[in-house]
Structure 1
């Protein structure tokens, strides 16, 4: 499987040198490992050689993690890179290490324009643009193969998630049809690369998904990672490994603090991918199970206890009519008489369709949590205003509301539930990102603890001079102490109907 110098053009040599500078020495070693592994994959047409690989070897290496059409077009792209500016252009030219490095730079270090060109090449053979029907087929194929790629590469990160055809179709509609304003049945529309760029800027979800699946396909072999294939990898520091583009990139957030033998979730693979893409980057590394009414009971007090001071939280509700929706709280939940949170909060819908509804900037009514008040609402709310929330969970827990005529003023969200006033079927909550660090003030929040407890020195001085502590025995009770621990999920008699 020899390769003449004339089959590599000057332009490829220049692209190779430019691409190489984008990778650290450790990453360069990883790419060489991957290239060598592909070259050692059994070939069907030519003898194996470390100087290059052919299409069947690339197909064998990827092993079904990508749709066949995508793998074939990826090889065609590699071949174009290989022959770019070459004097001789034989049909059976193998893909060299130089062409492979240039392609890896496009995939993992590429600009937005390069990714748009990559999507164009992988989605269609039409050089004038990407027809809507072919773009939809391409995105759908990537979604269908992503679950398999995660499973065979052992990257489910402790999640037990399904990926149904229905959820794939919902994600396709959200990520392509809605984002690119493609009407149902309008398959004749053709997108140029500038329109693809506008799409990715508006909804970057698919760009991230594409990079993730290619990362899974082109990760260094585990056994070679352990041994080190070159001096550069053998001498690499742990910092080199941690910042490597190809090493252990999280395709899914780590799922923590859950026993799947006892607990199920309203989430599926597409919904986790979608929500994780829209929460702040610092929160995307891990999701920690906090609460589910299915396993922890239908108790507002229990829910509040489990979600308080946990940092940012994703809450998901399914109403008894089957709609699934929720909200992302950017800060720790805490009992307050006023609205809190930030513009990073958002509401969302997961069924019957996907929707992400960010801050409108009309007001700052992002988060509200209060209990046992005479003049203020008692419950948990996001968006809107008192008694007219975009999402509301009542302190009595079994009920809530989603009010928007025509939209929630805080989040520009529509009514999320089937009925404006809904009954909860299931509610669950996940803390996202690293655990919150409690501040000293959190321990004595809202003056629930005597000022003397905050200042032991003041207490000691009073004891020393023999002064009586007038407030002793008059301390406030815990804020959730008089909330009934268990509430019936359904109102009286509802289960009989």
Structure 2
């Protein structure tokens, strides 16, 4: 290993704590079939390699095959000094460590070249359709691996809406943040046919934190590495809130797993760790008086409603509901839609009519957060 190569490798390795380095070494040894004493292992580390077949065998159950192939392409894309990236079909130890370092510890600039190759083997420019397929694969993999590892914290694929439509809805919402250098945001079929260069996708990754968080979850939980170590951020630890009050009651949530993840990420940090069921019309009856009895003075809450057309929408009330004529809440209140589109509409400052219970308004819940939803009333 040359000095430049050695220094670059050591710089990436130094980002990890000793116990993290040990975890990564152990995973690479498992994937490459290494064995023997620690001294022999260190001496031969650079000569050992990982194949696509070995990676597929290791992730056959926790990850969909399409995502395993994307991880492999990302590792293979790492350019080592004196070597051409992508020429070898096997992953060297240095490539493996740099891949982990850039995606788990790096900034958007360090991540982007790898992500480009994960989206398409040849890199950019990339069509919107390719980015859409990658984003849907990524979200699908997060749901799959969290379910496989039993990390859904009381939620399940059985007690929530079908996640397949939720995957597409969340992907569409994240892709809506793709914008061209002139600031325009292509939509619909135009987005799918538009070509995006690396700088645009880097800007997107920087502005859409879910991409980096989801990649971290896929790597940690999919490869089963660094998943129990203390450097995980709250974005990962609170990705899915603990679900309380649904188990054993025959209730199927109006939320799907991707929607839960996305809406939870918009809650204040101190409210992201647990969701407690307060009221369900299936359990408590279709009565506003029953609704008020179950939610008044219970703290901040999320309300989700399905209308007669099957649309799903709701809002987050930042303050405990109280039966009084004054409006309540603050700028943390927001509205959201779940179906047919997933979106969050935050406070605009247009007025302070943030939340008011139906027992007072007599017309429904008020959460006057966003002008595009009219008065902000959820009837």
Please tell me the TM-score bracket, short chain as reference.
0.7 to 0.9
**Alpha-carbon contact 1:131-1:189 (below 8 Å) kept:** yes
Other-structure match for 2:37 = none
List gaps (5 residues or longer) in structure 1: 42-47, 226-240, 385-409, 423-497
| Superposition pairs of residues 97-496 of structure 1, within 5 angstroms | 97-160=93-156, 161-177=160-176, 179-180=178-179, 181-186=185-190, 187-220=192-225, 241-244=229-232, 249=237, 251-369=239-357, 371=359, 377-378=361-362, 381-384=365-368, 410-414=369-373
**Alpha-carbon contact 1:157-1:254 (below 8 Å) kept:** yes
Deviates more, 1:97-106 or 1:213-222: 213-222
CA 1:86–1:66: 2 relative to 1, 3 Å: farther
Deviates more, 1:206-215 or 1:310-319: 206-215
Residues 309-358 of structure 1 deviation map (CA, whole Å, 9 limit, x = unaligned): 43321110111222111001122222333122111110011122222111
Please give the alpha-carbon distance, in whole angstroms, between the structure 1 residues aligned to 2:348 and 2:11: 43
**Alpha-carbon contact 1:357-1:412 (below 8 Å) kept:** no
Deviates more, 1:116-125 or 1:200-209: 200-209
Other-structure match for 1:63 = 60
Residues 411-440 of structure 1 deviation map (CA, whole Å, 9 limit, x = unaligned): 2332599xx995xxxxxxxxxxxxxxxxxx
Other-structure match for 1:29 = 22
Q: How many residues align?
A: 360
Please give the alpha-carbon distance, in whole angstroms, between the structure 1 residues aligned to 2:134 and 2:51: 23
CA 1:38–1:250: 2 relative to 1, 3 Å: farther
Other-structure match for 1:475 = none
SS of the aligned residue for 1:291 comes to coil
Please give the alpha-carbon distance, in whole angstroms, between the structure 2 residues aligned to 1:344 and 1:245: 22
Deviation at 1:178, TM superposition (A): 6.3
Please give the alpha-carbon distance, in whole angstroms, between the structure 1 residues aligned to 2:226 and 2:232: 14
CA 1:295–1:90: 2 relative to 1, 3 Å: closer
SS of the aligned residue for 1:356 comes to strand
CA 1:85–1:221: 2 relative to 1, 3 Å: closer
CA 1:77–1:258: 2 relative to 1, 3 Å: closer
Deviation at 1:177, TM superposition (A): 4.3
Please give the alpha-carbon distance, in whole angstroms, between the structure 1 residues aligned to 2:86 and 2:306: 60
Please give the alpha-carbon distance, in whole angstroms, between the structure 2 residues aligned to 1:370 and 1:164: 31
CA 1:167–1:303: 2 relative to 1, 3 Å: same
- Give TM-score scaled by structure 1 length: 0.64
Deviation at 1:92, TM superposition (A): 5.3
Please give the alpha-carbon distance, in whole angstroms, between the structure 2 residues aligned to 1:90 and 1:116: 16
List gaps (5 residues or longer) in structure 2: 35-40, 180-184
Please give the alpha-carbon distance, in whole angstroms, between the structure 2 residues aligned to 1:133 and 1:208: 22
**Alpha-carbon contact 1:53-1:96 (below 8 Å) kept:** yes
Deviation at 1:293, TM superposition (A): 1.1
CA 1:242–1:305: 2 relative to 1, 3 Å: farther
Compare CA radii of gyration and give the structure with the larger one.
1
More helix by share: 2
Residues 33-69 of structure 1 deviation map (CA, whole Å, 9 limit, x = unaligned): 322332349xxxxxx9874322211121122644545
**Alpha-carbon contact 1:359-1:412 (below 8 Å) kept:** no
SS of the aligned residue for 1:314 comes to strand
Please give the alpha-carbon distance, in whole angstroms, between the structure 1 residues aligned to 2:18 and 2:119: 32
Please give the alpha-carbon distance, in whole angstroms, between the structure 2 residues aligned to 1:245 and 1:32: 22
